[in-house]
Amino acid sequence: MKKKNLLLSAALISALMLSSCGSKTGTTTTNSNETTTITNETTTITNETPTNSNPETPSNTSTNPEEPNNPDLVASTSLSNSFNNIFYKTLENEVDKNNNVLVSPFSIVMDFGMLENGAKGSTKEQMETYLNGGMSVEDLNEYMKTLKDKMMNSKELEWNVANSIWFNESQISDVSNDVKEIVKKYYDSEINKRPYNNDTLKEINEWVKKNTNDMIPVILDKLNPSDVMHLINAVAFEGDWYVKFDEHDTTKNAPFKNLDGSTTNVDMLHSMNAGYFSSNDYIGFTKAFADQNYSFFAMKSQKGLSPLEMMKKMKDDNEDISTIMTKYGIDGMANIGLPKFELDYDTVLNKTLMDMGVTNAFSPSADFSKLADSKDPLYISKVIHKTHFELSETGVKAAAATSIAMTKGAMIKPKLDVEINMDEPFIYGIYDNKNGLPIFIGCINNFK
């Protein structure tokens, strides 16, 4: 891996068939050495100087292309709503509404994409409807491969997207040949037959650690002898900002108004070169990475809404983050303020996914008969998601890991510059400009 100031993000999904429950934990650290309980995320921001008149407006930002029959456009539109819904439902299910949250819908959907190839009937249909946004699993396979190949072939950014399947040799003899062929072709997945013991647990966690560039050191705490299978996805990203922040412009001990009304001092990064978008309800900006194919985005309410209330309003208005950025475009250049932070998040996504409509897959009546030969039906018992994000003057680092547990049983419009300070709760993420998809979506509610 190149040694340079860059954005690093990683995501992992692991699917294991077993019955269990999970919990959420997380810590957040600001530049003033404060630690806070929040979600798994890390972000780091680099400092660069512009090389053209509008460096923060990516040349290929998605802008409502008039291509109604473009299959990639149809796919990205389908997934955009699903990705936003995953974030919204995760926020909604967070016990402490003051917590910070970060998810990688890309990682989650890619992992479930592998799993869907082993599903039949209503189990498959629910996942296609609520996770794929109505796309068939066959179309999802093709599109996820397209997204993965684009990431892996980037010349100016460093992506790592890895998949693996681990199964308990004492529970099933093998993964079905059809599924093996598909996950190898479209997901480049490893398939590992192992005894489910402590050595295998260590091997799985080492695989996760390696493929998330050490940002997610552990995804599983234990393996039970009755566990059947884990499907794992990992995503890692490293990229320089196209225009870096200047650390001399950083404001020390700047006030950030937390969701509960209290104030925390943070280091606030500043840049005079960011493209902004605004409506009556929202205002935000995008900051491009080196190849201008991916951007960091941040947005907040113009009316004092929390991130959860913002996401609910988007849903009620039949909008999402992508449609807002597309609909309102880039209005001009802004002077921005962005907190420097580091945080970690983990959660169990069972309720989030069931609230979205994916219910059959978590029941003993689930039909995963195409996945493997098993005397007893297979079903999902636990979906774990872990993320990490760091944001500083030099770059961004982010990571995410998801584990699914299964068991068996019975264009520029010139305007005057504006100033946008993210000094109150906001939504942020990493955005695929061409495909209009948020690869990571998170929110900062507090720095306490």
What is the model's pLDDT at position 409?
Answer: 66
**Residue 31 CB-density burial (10 A; 0-12 exposed, 13-18 middle, 19+ buried):** buried
User: DSSP H helical segments within 246-345, as ranges?
Assistant: 307-316, 321-328
Q: DSSP assignment of 1-44, as one string?
A: ---SS-EEEEEEEEEEE-------B--EEETTS-EE---S-EE-
What is the model's pLDDT at position 254?
Answer: 97
Q: Where are the domains of the chain?
A: 7-26+36-51+71-241+341-408, 249-339+416-444
Pick the CATH number of 7-26+36-51+71-241+341-408 from 3.40.50.620, 3.30.497.10, 3.40.50.150, 3.40.50.720: 3.30.497.10
**Residue 315 CB-density burial (10 A; 0-12 exposed, 13-18 middle, 19+ buried):** middle
Give the pairing type, strands 426-432 and 294-301: antiparallel
Residues whose CB is less than 8 angstroms from the CB of residue 3 and which lie 6 or more positions away in sequence, other chains included: none
Helix (H) or strand (E) holding 116: helix 105-116
CATH level 3 topology of 249-339+416-444: Alpha-1-antitrypsin; domain 1 (2.30.39)
What is the model's pLDDT at position 71?
Answer: 65
Torsion from C-alpha of 283, 421, 158, 67, nearest 10 degrees: 10
Q: Compute the distance between CA of residue 151 and CA of residue 153 in angstroms, rounded to an integer.
A: 6
Residues whose CB is less than 8 angstroms from the CB of residue 359 and which lie 6 or more positions away in sequence, other chains included: 126
Mean pLDDT in runs of 10 for the chain (448 residues)? 34 43 41 33 30 40 45 82 96 91 96 97 98 97 96 90 94 94 98 95 96 94 89 87 90 96 96 89 93 94 97 95 87 90 92 97 95 90 91 78 69 59 96 94 94
Q: Compute the distance between CA of residue 255 and CA of residue 245 in angstroms, rounded to an integer.
A: 19
Q: Compute the distance between CA of residue 172 and CA of residue 164 in angstroms, rounded to an integer.
A: 17
What is the model's pLDDT at position 405?
Answer: 67
Q: Which two tokens stand for residue 286?
A: 């995008």
Cα 433 to Cα 9, 208, 438, distances in angstroms: 16, 27, 9
Q: Which pTM value belongs to this model?
A: 0.85
Q: Is the dihedral of CA 236, 293, 88, 135 positive or negative?
A: negative
What is the model's pLDDT at position 261?
Answer: 95
